[in-house]
């Protein structure tokens, strides 16, 4: 029934209750997410900060990389304290740490060792497949959730918290971005039901579209133009890919967050089963983004290179030059997907 879509699944509710039992009014709680945080990580953090404040806690952000400019409005509208510049010192000042949208502690980058050394392991809210080194022992995790933001919505429900406009906007940001504007396969009936509840709480969908998808810097478009000039296609295997060289970000005066969505261009080519974005980071490292179509499990392929993520969207950081990594990954991808019939 439609009404059941708004109910918190029993397993999630039990996990959330265990997590909330670890928190108490008066505590200071640090919130963190993965390096190069995205809309789901940022939105989930901002929403949870607002929810914990309703419960009488002081919540603040401690991320391993700077908060993306395109999601700055979440901090401003939520009145959220970002202490990321203080790094490990900010973590040490908190009573507890909650990490969001992370299944492996290595995704905390420069904060990973400090998190491993905490007297109390972090609490975790996430929707990814388990990584090699989970960041904590008490988890609220469900890979069927469309985004970590959906799980934060459930936290609000279990708490009996108010969906204030800043909290609703933050959760909507998380869900909107991680479903590709409600287009990807992770867009479930419940995802739409939760989105409806957020709209009822005051979220303006047109305003959100403008903020996230229609306010890009000119440099992003010229970056995409240059990236598409490197487009490669192997029709026999259904592979498409583009390269982004290290100097392009500086040339176009953009940041890594402006690469979000670039992999969708090769994925949109008819017949593509797996799209790849190769980003040269310099210093002998290449970040590879895997975006799949149909039944191709990009997570399984990414894990062969020490990465991971979702079945349709994953990533890996691989040592080597751009040419070396591209050749190696494409050869492995061909063996993985097999020729088209």
286, burial (CB in 10 Å: exposed 0-12, middle 13-18, buried 19+): buried
Q: Where are the beta strands (DSSP E) in 105-206?
A: 123-126, 138-141
Q: What is the pTM of this model?
A: 0.88
Rounded distance between C-alpha atoms, residue 70 and residue 37, angstroms: 11
Asked if residues 257 and 218 have their Cβ atoms less than 8 Å apart, the reply is: no
Is residue 122 within 8 Å of residue 115, measured between CB atoms? yes
- Is the pLDDT score of 162 beyond 90? yes
Beta bridge partners of 304: none
Domains and CATH numbers, the chain: 2-213 (3.90.1640.10), 218-337 (3.10.310.30)
Give the Cβ contact number of residue 116 at 10 Å: 13
Average pLDDT over residues 186-192: 95
How many Cβ atoms sit within 10 Å of the Cβ of residue 2?
8
262-321 pLDDT tens trace: 999 999 999 999 999 999 998 899 999 999 998 999 999 999 999 888 888 889 999 999
Residue 242 banded pLDDT, cuts 50, 70, 90: very high
**High-pLDDT (> 70) share of the chain, %:** 99
Q: Determine the average pLDDT of the residues in 69-82.
A: 96
Reference 266, options 317, 330, 177, 187; nearest CA is 330
| Residue 232 in this model has a pLDDT that exceeds 70 | yes
Distances (CA, A) of 307 to 13, 16, 115: 30, 28, 20
Banded model confidence at residue 2, pLDDT cuts 50, 70, 90: low
Distance CA 156, CA 173 (A): 16
pLDDT 10s digits, 202-216: 999 999 999 999 888
Tens-place pLDDT, residues 7-42 = 999 999 999 999 999 999 999 999 999 998 999 999
Residue 1 has pLDDT above 60, yes or no: no
Percent of the chain with pLDDT over 90: 81
Judged by DSSP in three states, 58 sits in strand
pLDDT of residue 60: 98
d(CA 209, CA 230): 29
- ∠ CA 296-224-288, nearest 5°, is 40
pLDDT reported for residue 3: 63
């Amino acid at each position: 029934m439609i009404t059941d879509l708004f109910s918190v699944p029993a397993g999630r509710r039990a996990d959330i209750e265990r997590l909330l039992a670890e928190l108490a009014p008066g505590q200071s709680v640090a919130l963190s997410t993965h390096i190069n945080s995205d809309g789901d990580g940022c939105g989930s953090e901002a929403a949870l900060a607002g929810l914990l404040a309703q419960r009488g806690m002081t919540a603040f952000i401690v991320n391993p990389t700077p908060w993306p400019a395109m999601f700055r409005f979440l901090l401003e509208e939520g009145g959220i304290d970002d202490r990321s510049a203080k790094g490990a010192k900010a973590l040490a000042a908190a009573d507890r740490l909650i990490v969001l949208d992370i299944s492996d502690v290595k995704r905390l980058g420069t904060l990973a060792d400090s998190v491993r050394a905490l007297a109390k392991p972090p609490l975790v809210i996430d929707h990814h497949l388990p990584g090699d080194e989970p960041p904590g022992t008490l988890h609220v995790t469900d890979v069927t959730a469309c985004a970590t933001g959906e799980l934060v919505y459930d936290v609000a429900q279990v708490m009996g918290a108010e969906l204030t406009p800043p909290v609703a906007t933050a959760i909507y940001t998380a869900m909107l971005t991680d479903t590709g504007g409600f287009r990807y396969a992770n867009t479930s009936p419940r995802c739409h039901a939760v989105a409806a509840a957020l709209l009822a709480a005051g979220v303006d969908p047109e305003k959100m579209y403008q903020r996230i998808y229609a306010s890009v810097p000119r440099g992003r478009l010229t970056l995409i133009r240059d990236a598409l000039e490197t487009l490669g296609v192997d029709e026999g295997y259904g592979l498409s890919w583009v390269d982004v060289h290290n100097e392009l970000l500086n040339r176009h005066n953009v940041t890594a967050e402006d690469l979000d969505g670039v992999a969708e261009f090769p994925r949109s080519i008819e017949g593509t089963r797996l799209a790849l974005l190769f980003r040269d980071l310099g210093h002998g490292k290449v970040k590879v983004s895997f975006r799949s179509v149909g039944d191709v499990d990009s997570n399984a392929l990414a894990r062969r290179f020490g990465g991971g993520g979702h079945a349709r969207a994953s990533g890996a950081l691989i040592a080597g030059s751009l040419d070396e990594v591209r050749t190696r990954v494409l050869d492995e991808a061909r063996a993985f997907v097999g020729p088209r019939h």
